[in-house]
Amino acid sequence: MLLNDYDPLKKKQLTILDPSGVIVTPKLEPNISKEELLKMYKTMTLGRTADIKALQYQRQGRMLTYAPNKGQEAAQVGAMAALEQQDWLVPAFRELNAMLYKGVTLEQIYLYWYGNEWGNHFDEGVKVLPIDVIIGSQINHAAGVAYASKILKKNEVAVATIGDGGTSHGEFYEGMNFAATYDAPLVVVIQNNQYAISTPRSKATKAATLAQKAVAFGIPGIQVDGNDVLAMYVATKAAADHARSGKGPVLIEAVTYRLGPHTTSDDPTIYRSNEEVAEWELKDPLIRFKKYLIDKGYWTEEEDQKLDEENLQYVGDTFKLVEASGTSVLEDIFKYTYAEMTPQLNEQLEAYKKYIEQGGK
């Protein structure tokens, strides 16, 4: 079994597609259809373009604070492609690519970062929870979703994402321990992008790997090359199958790198070198996946150039729609936290209305 073959205590890392786009573990190469492989690649390229443009929009004063995803596309899309339609994504705040693959529209994602609460209103049937900025709390949410699935026999797996720094927060341990104790069908993907804002991974924890934190919960853990979309697919498929079968959670550490800033409020040049970034750029998940697809005869450079142009046009058109939506309605902040507003929220809303009636004084 795959999860048994990659003992995190022995620092074994799963890699199938190396940085040059060559299969190095042929026996583990997944049998994915051409259509799905292209969907994965197209989602990753759209995510890259949307990410770069979002940073530009923010710098132009046209979007609020944004958390870039550049460099982490494979860790997200590979994981989502391995899931079944009914499975849940419980994201943190750096999951643009994962959300796109699971059916959230780019317009909805942009609306959120534009400051419009309606950006968290996803289409019917899209199994994605709203973006969660409170570090670690999404693990508890996902544990609850997974436990509910078990009780109701829904055959749903919940996949939560968290950063390397987030694994030092209490709610990470609480959620993981709860899910492990009750054998809830939960998979947690740690996007180890090497930095918790400016704190390097080496200073965040003394654990040799983040995957080995699974040992404390009595569950499997596996470290994966997070820039290898095929390895992420295989690891997540094995983890989801394990969780779905009633054996409990799995912890996946996706070793990747944040090529951009932590958020648009961050300057990464202060705490990391250009040489370090350049080294990781050679491991770019899009470059290796494109080469793999071209070698298989599924893709061409000409098609790639056309796709880039289409993505740029689509992203630009989408943001125009977002800007045309106008300013968001502040009342939405009160209305959509719960199915029914609590007495406290009603009281706050009434106080806000009175404040507006008095001319904002």
Residues designated as active site: 258, 262, 271
Q: How far apart are CA 267 and CA 247, in angstroms?
A: 43
Task: Find residue 179's DSSP bridge partners.
Answer: none
Contacts of 317 (CB under 8 A, 6+ apart): none
Q: Are strands 158-163 and 195-196 parallel, antiparallel or unpaired?
A: unpaired
The dihedral sign for the CA sequence 47, 52, 53, 57: positive
Residue pair 175/167 in contact (Cβ under 8 Å)? The answer is no
The dihedral sign for the CA sequence 280, 263, 194, 80: negative
> At 83, phi and psi to the nearest 5?
-90, 165
- The tokens for 160 are 């939560």
Q: How far apart are CA 282 and CA 292, in angstroms?
A: 15
